[in-house]
Amino acid sequence: MSYKMHILVCGGTGCRASASQHIMTRLEECLRDKNLEDEVQVIATGCFGFCEKGPIVKVMPDNTFYVQVKPEDAEEIVAEHIIKGRKVERLLYKDPERKAPVSDSKHMEFYKKQLRIALRNCGFINPENIDEYIARDGYSALAKCLTEMTPEEVIAEVKLSGLRGRGGAGFPTGTKWEFASKYKADQKYVVCNADEGDPGAFMDRSIMEGDPHSIVEAMAICGYSIGATKGLVYIRAEYPLAIHRLQVAIGQAKEYGLLGERIFGTDFCFDIEIRYGAGAFVCGEETALIHSMEGKRGEPTMKPPFPAESGYLNRPTNVNNVETFANIPVIITKGANWFNKIGTERSKGTKVFALAGKINNVGLIEVPMGTTLREVIYEIGGGIKNGKKFKAVQTGGPSGGCLTEKHLDVPIDFDNLVASGSMMGSGGMIVMDEDDCMVSVAKFYLDFTVEESCGKCTPCRVGNKRLHELLDKITEGKGTMEDLETLRNLSQVIKDTALCGLGQTSPNPVLSTLNNFYEEYVAHIRDHKCPAGKCKALLSFHIDPELCIGCGLCARNCPVDAIVGERKSPHFIDTGKCIKCGTCLEKCKFKAISTR
């Protein structure tokens, strides 16, 4: 059926949580009421990326971009836009500087500097319709590989592209494939690492939800190039929508003859299964992931041998993450020379980031390597929320580090971030403002890695716990200056001796905050003060008798009755009872309560 118009509705997890399915239902009902169901089609897509403004509805072909849409807006969209051709201005994105509505996403600052390669189909197609994927050159890369290229030529093309693994380590993808291709075995495996465990990260999830066929196609291409006939997707069970769409994509590919026996009439056979993880962060490490798939404890092992030689079931295995695979079909169809002209000298292509934290435009972005942090935070991200001052950005998740204002003009790529004391990681990017305590931030990440450590090696199992104890001691106001030297020395020992990447990188948040915010540590120890006012043990709440009018609002809301005073007279806080919950500070309308 040929439709005159299409209404695209974000069907990613974030927008679904904000009733995007109900929006679709109401749009379809309104179209039926107007007898327009044969002229206008409503399509659920993947994530548009602009999560801060979701749910998003896009009307095609005029590319009108509606933000923060509610189910009750459906009738007006149909009546005004679809029938009368008049855009619903109140639902358009408002430019924060000019305050003018912007109807086309191409003119939004959020999208202007982005280049979507891995995310090319997210927000454009129905991820559960293979025909829409094929219409956008889907499976043409696989066809080209099987009918026009030898396995060696495919690997050479991936090597020439300069693509490096997007899972965190940044190892050259083509070289990795080459290693796996050289080992002989009766069975080889291709594994897609979809165990996305970094706090605040949702890059891989969004790709699988919005463009699952790109992963299926890329895994088949990898299988052809290394001589594997079996693919495994290791995905955390907490991603039900991504799992569902992968299952649909695999089923459709089999139905179309794009998986299974004699693909495209050739001798190449390839199939894919899904394996589930239970949310263990350490299973993002490839050897731990492989052990988990084998039904064993998810613990890493010493390398060599690398999985390319002895991986799943002791057979040669190639492991890449979701984003890495998402780039493969484009590299084959457009050519390695096209891809390697994007990015920097040693980091080619683009990188997807989950931009989160104290930022105006929370969302999923994809930018060319070499884009600066300043461009990401202040142009794409729209700056810091509530006009607060930028303080730091954590890149690379728990394995990364906190970068400061002096790093804002550093071009983002694998090597520059490491040189600055952080790392690319899988792509989490959490922005912090003046109200964040950097000692507490380091403690938060250590708390995570202590919880997620598999416990196999002593440096990670014991060393990280000691680091966490020292940080806890400092935030309680009980630290000493000697503790800072201990933090540095212990962090270095863990980095040098831990078994896997989790342990080796876990001290990074500690070292980066020590290097960039040393005075904040000193204030906690020497002055018994948290400059950001976040560490409860170092806070005390006070009521200014000059500003307090005795309304009693603070006293009525105090959960422990720590505030006393007569009505219309200044009140006082009993510091012995006060639990420092901050309720009084939040409730006071006269700014009479402060912290010290």
DSSP secondary structure code for residue 343 in this structure: B
Q: Which helix (H) or strand (E) holds 363?
A: strand 363-368
Instruction: Note down the domain range covering 510.
Output: 438-526
Peptide bond between residue 398 and the one before it cis (omega within 30 degrees of 0): no
Tokens coding 62:
């005029």
Residues 66 and 54: their CA atoms lie apart, in Å, by 9
| Any domain includes 48 | yes
The answer as to whether 222 is a domain residue is yes
| R_g over Cα of the chain | 27
The secondary structure element, H or E, covering residue 235 is: strand 230-236
Note whether 284 and 367 are same-domain residues.
no
Query: 389 forms bridges with which residues in the sheet?
Result: none
The answer as to whether 418 is a domain residue is: yes
Domain check: are 381 and 492 in the same one?
no
Looking at residue 1, its pLDDT comes to 63
Q: What share of the chain is helix, strand, coil (3-state, %, to 5)?
A: 45, 15, 40
Q: Is residue 67 part of a domain?
A: yes
Indicate the residue among 45, 73, 108 that finishes a domain. Answer: 108
Side chain identity at residue 110, one-letter code? F
Same domain, 411 and 456: no
Are residues 548 and 572 both part of a single domain? yes
**Rounded to whole angstroms, how far apart are CA atoms 6 and 39?**
9
3-state secondary structure 18-67: CCHHHHHHHHHHHHHHCCCCCCEEEEEECCCCCHHHCCCEEEECCCEEEC
Looking at the fold, whether 563 and 426 belong to one and the same domain comes out as: no
Rounded Cα–Cα distance for residues 519 and 561 (Å): 36
In a domain, 219, yes or no: yes
Pairing of strands 572-573, 563-564: antiparallel
Nearest one of 347, 329, 350, 311 to 180, comparing CA atoms: 311
CA 410 to chain centre: 21
Considering the domain architecture, whether residues 191 and 321 belong to the same structural domain is answered as: yes
Looking at 318, 339, 360, the residue that finishes a domain is: 339
What SS3 class is residue 372?
A: strand
| Residues 420 and 452 grouped into a single domain | no
Instruction: Tell me if 67 sits within 8 A of 111, measured CB to CB.
Output: no
Q: Could you tell me if 198 and 332 lie in one domain?
A: yes
Contact between residue 459 and residue 504 where contact means Cβ atoms under 8 Å apart: no
184 in a structural domain = yes
Report the candidate in 401, 390, 329, 330 with the shortest Cα–Cα distance to residue 360: 390
Considering 500, 526, 552, which residue would you say is the last residue of a domain?
A: 526
Q: Which long-range contacts (CB under 8 A, 24 or more apart) does 156-161 make?
A: 157/331, 157/332, 157/335, 157/336, 158/225, 158/328, 158/331, 158/336, 159/336, 160/336, 160/337, 160/340, 161/331, 161/336, 161/339, 161/340, 161/348, 161/349
Element (H, E) at 502: helix 501-505
Q: How many domains are there within the chain?
A: 5
CATH code for the domain of 395: 3.10.20.600
Same domain for 373 and 516, yes or no, is no
Q: Quick one: pLDDT at residue 530?
A: 92
Query: Do 266 and 202 fall within a single domain?
Result: yes
Distance CA 203, CA 318 (A): 21
Overall pTM > 0.75:
yes
> How many C-beta atoms surround the C-beta of residue 164 within 10 A?
25
Q: Cα–Cα distance between 541 and 588 in angstroms, integer?
A: 12
Same domain, 88 and 104: yes
> In whole angstroms, how far apart are CA 185 and each of 284, 310, 311, 317, 443?
25, 10, 12, 10, 46
Q: Is residue 244 part of a domain?
A: yes
Question: 577 forms bridges with which residues in the sheet?
Answer: none
The verdict on residue 533 lying in a domain is no
Q: What is the pLDDT along the chain (596 residues), one digit of tens a residue?
A: 678 999 999 999 999 999 999 999 999 999 999 999 999 999 999 999 999 999 999 999 999 999 999 999 999 999 999 999 999 999 999 887 777 888 888 889 999 999 999 999 999 999 999 999 999 999 999 999 999 999 999 999 999 999 999 987 789 999 999 999 999 999 999 999 999 888 878 899 999 999 999 999 999 999 999 999 999 999 999 999 999 999 999 999 999 999 999 999 999 999 999 999 988 888 888 999 999 999 999 999 988 999 999 999 999 999 999 999 999 999 999 999 999 999 999 999 999 999 999 999 999 999 999 999 999 999 999 999 999 999 999 998 888 889 999 999 999 999 999 888 888 888 889 999 999 999 999 999 999 999 988 989 999 999 999 999 999 999 999 999 999 999 999 999 999 999 988 888 899 999 999 999 999 999 999 999 999 888 988 888 899 999 999 999 999 999 999 999 998 999 999 988 998 888 998 899 999 998 87
Q: Are both 149 and 221 inside the same structural domain?
A: yes
Is residue 361 within 8 Å of 353, Cβ to Cβ?
A: no
Cβ atoms 16, 240 nearer than 8 A: no
Q: How far apart are CA 220 and CA 241, in angstroms?
A: 22
CATH of the domain at 578: 3.30.70.20
Distance CA 413, CA 510 (A): 22
CA proximity to 158, closest of 178, 144, 139: 178
What's the first-to-final CA gap in the chain, in angstroms?
68
Q: Where are the alpha helices (DSSP H) in 69-166?
A: 74-76, 109-112, 130-135, 140-148, 151-161
Whichever domain contains 235, its CATH number is 3.40.50.11540
